[in-house]
Every structure is written in C-alpha cells, then in structure tokens.
Amino acid sequence: MDIPVSAWASDLFDDEKTAQLVRDRIGQALVDMQANAQASHLEADVSSTQVHGVARYRGAYERVSAALENIPGAELVKPNGFQFELVRVGNALLYPFCFSKKDSSVRTAKIQNVWSVIRELFAFAPPSQQADIFGEYEFDPSSVELGPKLAALPKDTRLVLIPFACNAAGLLKPYWGVAALANDSGSLDWIIDPEPLPLPAAPTLKLGIPQQKTNHSGFDEGEQPLVALAPRPNADRKLDVTPTTEAPPAKPLVNEDDEN
C-alpha cells in the first residue's frame, strides 16, 4: 500500500503525485547506492571499508541525480566549488548526506564539515529557532554570499535534506525533511520533522552486458572476395593440352639421394 506524502512535500514539489514520485525514486536511488557500494567492497576483497565509503559518498549524489533528472521540471544544479550535481524539483533543492555509520537517531544528525558550499546551501533553509545562551543566532542564512550557480536559483527555493545512516553491512535509516543550520559545528534545527523514506525491496537490476554495436552488417552481407585467375600459357593452348586444375601428385622418394 502506498504511503501518502505529507502536505509540506506536496507544496514544495508542486503536487502530491510529483512529491510521491520524488520520494519513491530517492528511496530506490539510496538502495542502489548501497548495493553498488557493497559490491565494490566485496570486489576489492580488503578488510578496510574505505572502498565502501568512497562508493557510498559518490553514489549518494550520483544515484539521486540520475534517478530524478528526467522528472518533468527537474533541474541539475552544480554549486560553484562542488564536484557533484544536486537536483531541484519544484521549489525543493535536494541534499543527501550520511549522518552516521551506526543505528543512530536522526535527531542527532550533524553536518560534518560546514564549509563554504554548505553555508550557501543552508541559505535556502529557514533561520534557526534555537538561540544560543546569549539569545543570538549563530548562523544567519540571509548573511551568506552565494556563488553564481546558486544565486541564479529562484528565491523561493527551499533546501530539503536527505540524511541517512549507512555502513558496509546495510542502509539503516533514510529520512527527508527541512532543517536549519544552527551553528558552525553542523548542528541541525529541524523545522519540518524528518520523515522515514520508504524503501524498495531490491536494488535496480544491472545487467553486465557490454555495449553492442548495431551498425555493422552480418557475416553474409559483406563484399565477395576477388579470386585471382591465372590464364593458361599460350604454348598449352597451341598444343591443345587439356587444362589441369590440380598439381600432379609427387612421387615419393626412396631415399634422399633420389632427388639428385
């Protein structure tokens, strides 16, 4: 049975049908990401989980982008200084990230490295509602200077986070929701409660078939080879000698001296 999407998602993605399509494709993309990362780890046959980590890190962006890019109205956005493309659908700019390698509460999720691009992304998030002990807010979205790529987005764009817990053993807890960046330590203030993402039962089947050429002809459609014909000598024609098509059989030698 389909799980209905929340009202906030329907509003951000323009309608309920698009919101459900985006949500389902994100879930499939994360399952595919984990399957690819696990396959890379097994193929590497090493004790370290570094291979899984690299494949998971890149796959989180690449699989989500690939899954959503053909939705009507979707736009790929590559922030200045960032190596991956993010997807904007409706008014939502989607940002996936791994918040833990353990089965942890999403309420403890933090952004591990609050660098310039992260600050730009959170300029599209609401301001934090959590003031510090002095009654001030550490991060002010309105004070962030945007690079050209993000500055070109519509002003009503809203950052939607896709946090998930994941390790080499499995994809644990994927969510989506809207949060403010509370401080430069990466703490999040959830404005819209993070909701679990429903996941498909299996990853997308990938067939290991090499790309086939389709523009070459069949073996029986090629040009016929030219066979060179040797003309009969004029002497044979004048003597009316019957033409021969095979060389006469060689008489076996009794010993090596017979040849001489």
**Per-residue pLDDT tens digits for 230-245:** 666 777 677 766 766 6
Tell me how far apart the alpha carbons of residues 121 and 188 are, in angstroms, rounded to a whole number. 13
| Residues contacting 109, CB < 8 A, separation 6+ | 99, 100, 163, 188, 194
**pLDDT the model gives residue 105:** 95
Alpha helices in the chain (DSSP H): 7-12, 16-44, 50-68, 116-121, 148-151, 234-238
pLDDT (mean) for 120-147 = 82
pLDDT at 228 over 70: no
Label residue 46 by pLDDT band (50, 70, 90).
confident
Does a structural domain hold residue 250? no
Does a structural domain hold residue 206? no
pLDDT (mean) for 195-214 = 76
Label residue 213 by pLDDT band (50, 70, 90).
low
Beta strands in 53-210 (DSSP E): 75-77, 86-89, 92-100, 158-167, 170-181, 188-196
**pLDDT the model gives residue 212:** 60
Label residue 50 by pLDDT band (50, 70, 90).
confident
Give the number of domains in the chain.
1
**pLDDT the model gives residue 225:** 67
Compute, in degrees rounded to 10, the torsion defined by CA atoms 46, 48, 50, 52: 60
Secondary structure tally for the chain: helices H, strands E: 6, 6
HSE of 120, CA atoms in CB hemisphere, 13 A = 18
CA 193 to chain centre: 28
Does a structural domain hold residue 23? yes
Does a structural domain hold residue 251? no
Does a structural domain hold residue 246? no
Does a structural domain hold residue 231? no
Does a structural domain hold residue 97? yes
pLDDT at 48 over 90: no
Label residue 220 by pLDDT band (50, 70, 90).
low
Domain that holds residue 52: 7-196
Does a structural domain hold residue 177? yes
